[in-house]
Amino acid sequence: MSKIAIFSLISLIVSLFSQATLAAPSLVPSPPDIAAKAYLLMDYHSGRILTAHEIDARDQPASLTKLMTAYVVLNELKNGTIKLDDKVLISEKAWRMKGSRMFLKLKSRVSVDDLLMGMIVQSGNDASVALAEHTAGSEETFVQLMNQYAKRLGMNNTHFMNCTGMPEKGHYSTARDLAKLSQAIIRDFPDHYSLYKIKKFTHNNITQPNRNRLLWLDPRVDGIKTGHTEAAGYCLIASAKQGEMRLISVVLGTNSENARARESRKLLNYGFRFYETFKLYEAMKPLTETRIWKGTEEHLPLGLANDLYITAPRGQRNKIKAQMTLQSNIIAPAHEGQAFGQVEVKLDDTVLSKQTLVALKNVETGNLWRRLIDNIVLLFK
């Protein structure tokens, strides 16, 4: 056989092997074993949970509580009831707080901006109480706001008794609820989320590092919070971004600082390696249109109120199918945002998402002649 023939045969074999490799389905192994009482890995954009264990088990959230404290304070900043440059008088209660502190001085005045840094970066219990008292007058009143916001966010297995996470009867949360809260912080306050990646902060000439070791170990990680008490164990919520994909991991009840970092990395590595997230449909863009009767117009455009992101195993995007179900015999008037159907997205037999189809515009009731004609058509239809 000539050299040319041998080369051609080798090229054919390589080509066939490459095609077979490309055509092969993407394999997704089982999630790694995680040494924690409870854990969860969730895609930020789609909300899909990729792996989880005991995610609705109630337990002490320790300093992860401060995520809700920050969420309330940031909402009040957004509403204008407090300002970053407000000078907060440090009370005796805040000054006497035990546990992690930013070492505030009694009766000193510290800006809300610095207190946020002390609470988020240094996990200061004293800073948390000072912020709570400034925002709501007392920690007890502030805690009421925390529970109201928790209810609004759908944190159905969460109840707060304080703003710090110090152990107290009736103070609990879950991995699922804490993931929802973390998702809300990133979504609702993108300008302030950058606080969670700051590695150290100095107050009163005392410099303390952020306890989230992943900020040093993994360049993809840009937040969000650690927690630890004897009852809760070592806990960590981490968020990481790779390309356009962002993951949130929640690890509760590990046995050391090293363990919570190690187990969190295992989850994040698994998610980024074997899954991908992409935008399937854009918000407020027509996906379909349907007949509307007795209106000023005959057709009503339908779409989604929010962007629809899908998280699926890598290499499976072309297998994803979407099916729309529309309400029949829609009668005007129709109002923008009103629900008139549903889109269901599936990968094989697995439902990845179900979203409501809404009207993208208003269609008012038509004149007498239009209503009469459509009545006759509907009668025969």
Give 142-197 pLDDT, tens digit per residue: 999 999 999 999 999 999 999 999 999 999 999 999 999 999 999 999 999 999 99
Q: Is residue 202 part of a domain?
A: yes
Task: Return the pLDDT at 10.
Answer: 35
Q: The tokens 């996906």 sit on which residue?
A: 287
Give 296-326 pLDDT, tens digit per residue: 999 999 999 999 999 999 999 999 999 999 9
Residues contacting 346, CB < 8 A, separation 6+: 320, 321, 322, 323, 352
**Structure-block tokens of residue 335:** 């109002």
Yes or no: say if 242 and 273 are a contact pair by the CB < 8 Å rule.
Answer: no
User: Binning pLDDT at 50, 70 and 90, where does residue 380 land?
Assistant: confident
Q: Is residue 1 part of a domain?
A: no
Single residue among 224, 248, 275 that ends a domain in this structure:
275
Q: Is residue 228 part of a domain?
A: yes
Q: Are residues 125 and 250 in the same domain?
A: yes
Q: Are residues 46 and 127 in the same domain?
A: yes
Q: Is residue 11 part of a domain?
A: no
- Helix locations, 189-275, DSSP H: 190-193, 214-217, 257-274
Q: How many residues does the chain have?
A: 381
Q: Are residues 367 and 305 in the same domain?
A: yes
Count: domains in the chain:
2
Q: Is residue 10 part of a domain?
A: no
Give 123-156 pLDDT, tens digit per residue: 999 999 999 999 999 999 999 999 999 999 999 9
| Phi, psi dihedral angles at 217 (to 5 degrees) | -90, -30
Q: Is residue 269 part of a domain?
A: yes
Q: Are residues 175 and 266 in the same domain?
A: yes
Percent of the chain residues past pLDDT 90, beyond the cut: 90
Mean residue pLDDT across the chain: 93
Give me the CATH number covering residue 227: 3.40.710.10
User: Binning pLDDT at 50, 70 and 90, where does residue 48 land?
Assistant: very high
Q: Are residues 209 and 288 in the same domain?
A: no
Give me the CATH number covering residue 367: 2.60.410.10
Q: Are residues 364 and 228 in the same domain?
A: no
User: Binning pLDDT at 50, 70 and 90, where does residue 99 land?
Assistant: very high
Q: Are residues 236 and 134 in the same domain?
A: yes
User: Binning pLDDT at 50, 70 and 90, where does residue 378 land?
Assistant: confident
Q: Are residues 352 and 270 in the same domain?
A: no
Q: Is residue 313 part of a domain?
A: yes
Q: Are residues 361 and 308 in the same domain?
A: yes
Give 7-38 pLDDT, tens digit per residue: 333 343 334 334 433 444 468 999 999 999 99
- CA–CA separation, 145 and 148 (whole Å): 5
User: Binning pLDDT at 50, 70 and 90, where does residue 374 land?
Assistant: confident
- CA–CA separation, 176 and 49 (whole Å): 9
pTM metric for this prediction: 0.88
Q: Are residues 72 and 205 in the same domain?
A: yes
Percent of the chain residues past pLDDT 70, beyond the cut: 93
Yes or no: say if 251 and 268 are a contact pair by the CB < 8 Å rule.
Answer: no
* Range(s) of the domain holding residue 312: 282-380
Single residue among 223, 243, 275 that ends a domain in this structure:
275
Q: Is residue 17 part of a domain?
A: no
Q: Would you name the residues annotated as active-site residues?
A: 63, 66, 123
Task: Return the pLDDT at 56.
Answer: 98
Give 231-274 pLDDT, tens digit per residue: 999 999 999 999 999 999 999 999 999 999 999 999 999 999 99
- Helix locations, the chain, DSSP H: 3-23, 66-79, 92-95, 112-120, 125-136, 139-152, 175-188, 190-193, 214-217, 257-274, 368-380
Single residue among 275, 308, 325 that ends a domain in this structure:
275
Q: Are residues 256 and 356 in the same domain?
A: no
Q: Are residues 127 and 188 in the same domain?
A: yes
